[in-house]
Amino acid sequence: MRLTDQERSLRDGAHGEARARAMDLLIRYGEALGAERLVESRNVAGAFNASTPSVRHMADDGFDRVFSELNLDADDVVDIPHMAVPTCQLITGIDNDNYELQGVDPGLAELQKQSEKYLGRRGINMMCTCTPYQVGNVPVKGEHCAWMESSAVIYCNSVLGARTNVEGKESTGAAGLTGRIPYWGLHIPENRLANRLIRVEADVDDMADWGVLGYFTGFEVEENIPAFDGLTHQPDLMKLKHFGAAAASSGGVEMYHIPGITPEAPTLDAAFGANARPDPIVYGRAERDRTWERLQNATDRKLDFVMLGCPHNSIEQMSLVAELLDGKRIHPDTALWVHTPRAIRQMADRSGYTEVIEAAGGVVMSDTCPSISRRLPQGVRVIATDSVKQAHYLPAIAKVQGWFGSVQQCVDSAIAGEWLGKVA
């Protein structure tokens, strides 16, 4: 691998042991990927927090040990200095305010809080969400990033036109300490061109429509880069967030192009660039209906739990949930949790949305989600969600039955205590 003078001095220890280990890790990682060089990155989003029972024994030796083992792949303990570049924490396993409802023991919740202080002193911003782009981390077009979390990565590449691969705990830890990441994959312009074409013939307008199209897309293109033809409705941040999370769940999609909407595709020709345009994959009414059916993994209509806010809700989505619940009461046998970044929760509090949701019997959760924490209300057998991603993962992770529908269908069902949405 070709290194700059600065990278060589980092590797050789002139900037401390932790940065030397980080550079060594990035060189080995890059060489395994076939990268010829590293690239500077000043935007890192990773997972650093100590919020799982398995890190408890490590934390007994201090948080340097946790970071060394989990984020630097080091067997011994290294003193961890301040990050070299802006770095943020993605979603965690524990809501610091609602940990008892999650069934988290107080000792583990306290460990997470201490871990956050440790990380904050090292320059890691506690955004604690899978949607850092909703709370201030908005890289610009062309910016090289080192992000984890598939739903954030696809948003970063496609909607913002910034560049990242799906990184891991170790590579983001090393990137934060050095400001470097291997130059490969989606950092390289030619690798960002479309190589699959989806012709949309069904109407795709509301949030659920966009989610279902995303789910179809992931199954069809797997890890390729699709461009879309035939979409007629203007999407917004929320629809593209939902769409990308769905595509990254059923497939390994990390980037897509919607001509006239996403920044690297002013036209369909520009989306493909030098790539040959393949035969289109058609998404019509029949494909839409089949994909919707695929998302219904339940037979029992009696509902135990409704999960909203995956990816984490925007303030507009919080407003909608409050509006739908205003003056209503959630069924006593059904729990409803709404997930949003903590920074947006503050806005929801001040706007009165949290009060309305709580008065109806709902819970506003931050910092986490059931798929990441693997914690649901006790005894849950049947869930409903407005999220394709949760509908995909939760039945397998939590061994529950799952319904998928619009936010209105989910809220109405939470009030009724039974699934009122479409069955298939």
**What are the structure tokens assigned to 107, written together?**
């000792």
Q: How far is the CB of 102 from ligand F3S (least distance, A)?
A: 14
- What is 370-420 written as a DSSP string? HHHH---STT--EEEES-HHHHHHHHHHH--EEEE--HHHHHHHHHHTB--
Stretch that binds ligand F3S, among 20-28, 209-217, 291-299, 366-374 (CB under 6 A): 366-374
312/345 with CB nearer ligand F3S: 312
Q: How far is the CB of 201 from ligand F3S (least distance, A)?
A: 28
128/193 with CB nearer ligand F3S: 128
User: For residues 369 and 179, what is the distance between their CA atoms, to the nearest angstrom?
Assistant: 29
15/312 with CB nearer ligand F3S: 312
191/406 with CB nearer ligand F3S: 406
Q: How far is the CB of 391 from ligand F3S (least distance, A)?
A: 10
Instruction: Enumerate the H helices of 225-379 as residue ranges.
Output: 237-250, 268-272, 285-294, 315-325, 342-351, 353-359, 370-373
Q: Judged by CB under 6 A, which of 389, 410, 411, 415 binds ligand F3S?
A: 389
DSSP-based three-state secondary structure for 91 = coil
178/390 with CB nearer ligand F3S: 390
149/220 with CB nearer ligand F3S: 149
Q: How far is the CB of 151 from ligand F3S (least distance, A)?
A: 4
C-beta atoms surrounding 381 within 10 Å: 14
Site string for ligand F3S, 78-97 (x = CB under 6 A): -------------x------
User: For residues 326 and 143, what is the distance between their CA atoms, to the nearest angstrom?
Assistant: 42
Q: Are 257 and 158 in contact (CB under 8 A)?
A: yes
Q: Are 373 and 93 in contact (CB under 8 A)?
A: yes
Q: Are 48 and 88 in contact (CB under 8 A)?
A: no
- What part of residues 11-40 is at the interface with ligand F3S (CB under 6 A)? none
User: For residues 176 and 68, what is the distance between their CA atoms, to the nearest angstrom?
Assistant: 13
Is 407 a binder of ligand F3S (CB under 6 A)? no
Q: Judged by CB under 6 A, which of 159, 369, 388, 410 binds ligand F3S?
A: 369
- What part of residues 130-169 is at the interface with ligand F3S (CB under 6 A)? 130, 151
108/338 with CB nearer ligand F3S: 338
Q: Are 39 and 144 in contact (CB under 8 A)?
A: yes
- What part of residues 303-322 is at the interface with ligand F3S (CB under 6 A)? 310-312
Work out the burial of residue 54: count CB atoms within 10 Å of its CB; fewer than 13 is exposed, 13-18 middle, 19 or more buried.
exposed
Q: Are 337 and 394 in contact (CB under 8 A)?
A: no
For tokens 């496609």, name the residue: 158
Q: How far is the CB of 48 from ligand F3S (least distance, A)?
A: 15
Q: How far is the CB of 150 from ligand F3S (least distance, A)?
A: 8
Closest CA to 393 of 132, 150, 226: 150
130/166 with CB nearer ligand F3S: 130
310/380 with CB nearer ligand F3S: 310
18/372 with CB nearer ligand F3S: 372
Q: How far is the CB of 176 from ligand F3S (least distance, A)?
A: 20
Strand partners, 89: 46
DSSP-based three-state secondary structure for 178 = helix
Number of residues this chain uses to bind ligand F3S (CB under 6 A): 13
**What are the structure tokens assigned to 179, written together?**
């400001």
User: For residues 262 and 244, what is the distance between their CA atoms, to the nearest angstrom?
Assistant: 12
Q: Judged by CB under 6 A, which of 372, 380, 400, 415 binds ligand F3S?
A: 372
Site string for ligand F3S, 265-294 (x = CB under 6 A): ------------------------------
**Residues lying near ligand F3S in the complex (CB under 6 A):** 91, 130, 151, 245, 310-312, 339, 369, 371-372, 389-390
